Structure 1
Amino acid sequence: MPYINAFVTHFRALQAWASRNNAALDLDVSTFQLEVRCRHRYYSLHPQFVGGMQQRIVNTPVITPETSGFIGWLPYRPLSYDVSTDKLLFKDMIAENGLRTPARWPLSDSQAPPDQDFILKRSSGSFGYDISGPFKAGMTPANRAQGADAGRGTLFAEQFVPGRALKLWCWGHKPFFAHLRQPATVTGDGRSSVQDLIEARLAKVGVALSQYPEVQAMKNFLAYQGLTFDSILQEGAACSLDFRYGREHVTRNALASDNDFPTLPETVQRSIELASAAMARFLKNLFALPVLYSMDAVVDEAGECWWLEVNSNPVLPPDGYEVMFADLFGA
């Protein structure tokens, strides 16, 4: 996510808004607190950073030695509510509002494996970690907790829906930014192994396969497709490397907005309207003012959305300051 993680894109968006609205901005570089004054109102905005910890991505309100990016200022400190901390509760809410969410099954030693292709995941949010599979219908994984750390919520099986990963950002009831991403793929030449093809793709973005922390997840997804690292793909044949959001392994322009929201298909737009309205109704009972959240979904081959989870403390895309400040300071 180079665009929304780049400091300069946030500065540029703030500067443009302040210029149009005759606003004053003051940044405390010791804490990165930002004060915004406009139309006889002022707000102190709190920073959020992102970095690695034990080969995982984590958000933090302060800069640490592991900090690798900046993810925006908000007028409140990190929030938490039940449908964001428990994916199962979010799925219940989505289903109650007549929207699609993948089928799920509880796990127990006595229960038969799901009769549809499935993945294993935990009910707590995890930046796409704590997921294993996918597995074919009727298959019993050798280790049901493979890739799903103990103690991170309830372990369950979820219907695997192939498709494009959708991440949607909303401020209150207003959806304003989206990524709709195809899974990363490699295409065979009839000679190279899948591993060789993956290494060549990763090299284009400056990553060595030997240093890549999620090799096992790639192997699991290849196994689902009947392939291994040693397989030779026929010329023109393609295979997918990962089904999770944020694993496209491509280089993007860090200074140009990569907002897919304006070009989303109509079927996706209709589902977004209903899902964001449902979330806004839920949040209105908790907070007096709108808040930022993001929702994850899969868009299947028919263009239908399958909603997965909500994040209460996501990255704020720079495009979101305009939407947020319209509520804080008036249009």
Structure 2
Amino acid sequence: MFYFFQPLNHIRRVREWARRHDASVSLDIETFRLRVTRGQQTAQFFPRFAVDTGAGLAYSGYFGERGPFIGWLPYELKRWPIASDKLVFKQYCKQTGLPIPAYWQQGAPQSEHFIVKGQRGSFGQGIRGPFRADHAHALGVVLNDGEYFEQFIKGECVKVWCWNGRPTAMERLSAPFAVGDGRRTLREIVGTVRGSFDTVYDLDVSRDILAWQGFDPDSVVAEGQQVRLDFRYATPFDPTVINNRDVLSQQSDIMRAQLQQIGNSLAQAIPDELRSHTVFTVDAVVDAHDQLWLLEMNSHPMVHPANYAPILDDLFGIA
């Protein structure tokens, strides 16, 4: 996510639009609010920051002494039910026929592989698993208040940004993994620094997914075998990537059409008074058959720089 945390990546996109359309841009360094003016019309943008709360990352609009910048929105804050509660999101998807993994809160496991998630929260906080259904009883996997079971689908993590229901950017990320060498334990492999930009990783966060694959941190894995270390969008194993990871334009026509239909449908769930001029993201997973499965919606996301051109076009009435 390093790309999002660099203000210049955001400023450049706004400046490019302003130059194309003979507009001016000003930035208040006290509040980090941005103003774009074209002719007699002005649009104000409010900053977003990611803040470590101790319990995990959260979003803030306050330009304080800590927390990286994660983009501007043309409004201060919007919230709506299907973006605040994952079970409400799932119920809406089920009613409208949007593809989602199976989920349940009681009874026997409804899928061979599953995870435990909380109804609320972002950045993959509080997720447990994956677990195998035939191991669940032995492991004592039970739900806490506000949690539910969800079918675990092995695949690539997807995050899609939408403006007014229209997809504007997409990331599609493979799961982080380690490669066995037949000699060292997994703990030794991920704890070995190979270069000046490398780091040492802690496998304690990977115990569930290692066990799901039949390993633990002290397992010696066959040479060349890949072992997944996580499955979430944001993980402790993410490399520092300075390049733009937007791959929306590289998707098939079928995938882009599906994303457009999903964006339009989810936008209709936003209350009428909030729907116009709104950014949201959709988290999903793509399986081995290129099938998209929706996981959740976020009403106050990190802003992808690709959003600014369509946002500004709409705000200033440019076709």
Q: TM-score, normalised by structure 1?
A: 0.89
1:251 paired residue number: 240
What's the secondary structure of 2:269's corresponding residue?
helix
1:180 paired residue number: 172
Q: Is the 8 A contact 2:51 2:66 kept in 1?
A: yes
2:46 paired residue number: 46
Match of 1:163 among 152, 155, 159: 155
CA distance in 2 between counterparts of 1:288 and 1:136 reads: 40
What's the secondary structure of 1:282's corresponding residue?
coil
Q: Match of 1:229, as an amino acid?
A: P
How far 1:29 moved relative to its partner?
A: 1.1
CA distance in 2 between counterparts of 1:281 and 1:70 reads: 29
What's the secondary structure of 1:245's corresponding residue?
coil
Pair 115,309 (structure 1): closer, same or farther in 2 beyond 3 Å: closer
CA distance in 2 between counterparts of 1:28 and 1:63 reads: 11
2:61 paired residue number: 61
Pair 216,270 (structure 1): closer, same or farther in 2 beyond 3 Å: farther
What's the secondary structure of 2:268's corresponding residue?
helix
CA distance in 1 between counterparts of 2:184 and 2:86 reads: 40
What's the secondary structure of 1:244's corresponding residue?
coil
CA distance in 2 between counterparts of 1:137 and 1:204 reads: 42
CA distance in 1 between counterparts of 2:110 and 2:159 reads: 27
What's the secondary structure of 2:42's corresponding residue?
strand
Asked if residue 229 in structure 1 is aligned to residue 217 in structure 2, the reply is yes
What's the secondary structure of 1:319's corresponding residue?
helix
Q: Match of 1:94, as an amino acid?
A: C
Q: TM-score, normalised by structure 2?
A: 0.92
What's the secondary structure of 2:88's corresponding residue?
helix
Within 5 A, what are the aligned runs for 1:69-218? 69-107=68-106, 111-138=107-134, 139-140=136-137, 141-145=139-143, 154-200=146-192, 206-209=198-201, 215-218=203-206
Q: Is the 8 A contact 2:80 2:271 kept in 1?
A: no
How far 1:301 moved relative to its partner?
A: 0.5
Moved more, 196-205 or 41-50: 196-205
- Any gaps of 5 or more consecutive residues in structure 2? none
Equivalent pairs counted in the alignment come to 315
How far 1:287 moved relative to its partner?
A: 2.3
How far 1:159 moved relative to its partner?
A: 0.6
Q: Provide the identity percentage.
A: 29
1:36 paired residue number: 36
Q: Match of 1:194, as an amino acid?
A: L
2:269 paired residue number: 282
2:256 paired residue number: 269
Q: Match of 1:123, as an amino acid?
A: Q
Moved more, 164-173 or 287-296: 287-296
Pair 73,88 (structure 1): closer, same or farther in 2 beyond 3 Å: same
CA distance in 1 between counterparts of 2:309 and 2:252 reads: 24
1:19 paired residue number: 19
Pair 125,55 (structure 1): closer, same or farther in 2 beyond 3 Å: closer
CA distance in 2 between counterparts of 1:30 and 1:282 reads: 36
Q: Match of 1:80, as an amino acid?
A: R
